[in-house]
Amino acid sequence: MTNLDQFKALGFDEKSLTAIEKKGFEEPTPIQKEVIPVLLKNSIDVIGQAQTGTGKTAAFALPIIEKLESNADYVQVVILAPTRELAIQVSEEIYSLRGDRKFKVLPIYGGQSISGQIRRLKNGVDIVVGTPGRILDHLRRKTLKLGKISFFVLDEADEMLNMGFIDDIETVLDATNKEKRVALFSATMPARIRQLAKKYMGETKLIKVENKPLATDLTEQIYFEVDRRDKLEALCRIIDLENEFYGLIFCRTKVGAAELTRKLMDRGYNADSLHGDIPQPERIKILDKFREKRTMILVATDVAARGLDVSDLTHVINYSLPQDTISYVHRIGRTGRAGKKGTAITFITPSEYRKLSFIKREAKTDIQKGELPEIQEIIDLKKSNIISRIKEALHSDIPTFYKDMAKELLEEKGPEEIMAAILKITYSEELDENNYTKMRPPRKERGIEEEGKTRVFISLGRKKGYTPKKMVDFIKDTIRLQDRFIDDVSVLDDFSFVTLPFKDAEELISIFKKKSKGKPPLITKAKSTAKSGRSKISFRERNRRKKRKK
Distance from C-alpha of 497 to C-alpha of 472, rounded to nearest angstrom: 11
Which is more confident, 41 or 231? Answer: 231
Average pLDDT for 175-182 = 95
pLDDT band at 212 (very low <50, low <70, confident <90, very high): low
- Other CB atoms within a 10 A radius of the CB of residue 164 amount to 18
In 3-state terms, what secondary structure has residue 499? Answer: strand
pLDDT band at 66 (very low <50, low <70, confident <90, very high): very high
pLDDT tens sequence across 476-504: 888 988 777 787 788 888 889 888 888 88
Average pLDDT, the chain: 85
Q: Strands 204-208 and 45-49, how do they pair?
A: parallel
In 3-state terms, what secondary structure has residue 8? Answer: helix
Give the DSSP H or E segment for 392: helix 375-394
**For residue 260, which of 252, 344, 96 has the smallest C-alpha distance?**
252
N-to-C CA span, the chain: 51
In 3-state terms, what secondary structure has residue 185? Answer: strand
Between helix 353-363 and helix 325-332 the angle, nearest 10°, is 70
Which is more confident, 88 or 303? Answer: 88
In 3-state terms, what secondary structure has residue 446? Answer: coil
Distance from C-alpha of 291 to C-alpha of 54, rounded to nearest angstrom: 29
Give the dihedral of Cα atoms 379, 385, 387, 391; nearest 10 deg.
180
pLDDT tens sequence across 193-202: 999 999 999 9
pLDDT tens sequence across 263-286: 999 888 999 998 877 887 888 889
- Asked whether the predicted pLDDT for residue 36 surpasses 80, the reply is yes
- Confidence at residue 450, expressed as pLDDT on a 0 to 100 scale: 37
In 3-state terms, what secondary structure has residue 245? Answer: coil
- Confidence at residue 170, expressed as pLDDT on a 0 to 100 scale: 95
Give the DSSP H or E segment for 376: helix 375-394
pLDDT tens sequence across 361-388: 877 888 888 888 888 988 998 898 899 8
What residues contact residue 539 under an 8 Å CB cut-off, 6+ apart? Answer: 238, 241, 370, 371, 372, 373, 377
pLDDT band at 448 (very low <50, low <70, confident <90, very high): very low
Give yes or no for a contact between 463 and 493, defined as CB atoms under 8 angstroms apart: yes
**For residue 334, which of 291, 380, 282, 387 has the smallest C-alpha distance?**
291
Distance from C-alpha of 51 to C-alpha of 212, rounded to nearest angstrom: 9
Distance from C-alpha of 28 to C-alpha of 303, rounded to nearest angstrom: 10
**Lowest-pLDDT range, 173-187, 408-422, 509-523?**
509-523
SS3 content of the chain, % helix, strand, coil (to 5): 45, 15, 40
pLDDT band at 306 (very low <50, low <70, confident <90, very high): low
- Confidence at residue 514, expressed as pLDDT on a 0 to 100 scale: 85
Cα 327 to chain center, whole Å?
9
CA distances from 140 to 124, 152, 171, 315 (A): 18, 19, 11, 53
- Residues above pLDDT 90, as percent of the chain: 41
- Asked whether the predicted pLDDT for residue 336 surpasses 80, the reply is no
Give yes or no for a contact between 204 and 44, defined as CB atoms under 8 angstroms apart: yes
- Asked whether the predicted pLDDT for residue 530 surpasses 60, the reply is no
Average pLDDT for 76-83 = 93
Q: Residue 45: phi, psi to the nearest 5?
A: -85, 170
- Confidence at residue 3, expressed as pLDDT on a 0 to 100 scale: 62
- Confidence at residue 539, expressed as pLDDT on a 0 to 100 scale: 56
- Confidence at residue 96, expressed as pLDDT on a 0 to 100 scale: 84
- Confidence at residue 531, expressed as pLDDT on a 0 to 100 scale: 35
> What are the structural domains, with CATH classification, of the chain?
3-208 (3.40.50.300), 219-373 (3.40.50.300), 376-435 (no CATH), 453-525 (3.30.70.330)
Give yes or no for a contact between 520 and 458, defined as CB atoms under 8 angstroms apart: no
**For residue 522, which of 508, 501, 506 has the smallest C-alpha distance?**
508
List, in sequence order, the alpha helices (H) in 395-528. Answer: 400-410, 415-427, 468-478, 502-515
317 secondary structure, DSSP code = E
Describe the strand order of the beta sheet including 315-318 as a list of residue ranges. 271-274, 297-300, 247-250, 315-318, 342-348, 219-225, 368-371, 537-538
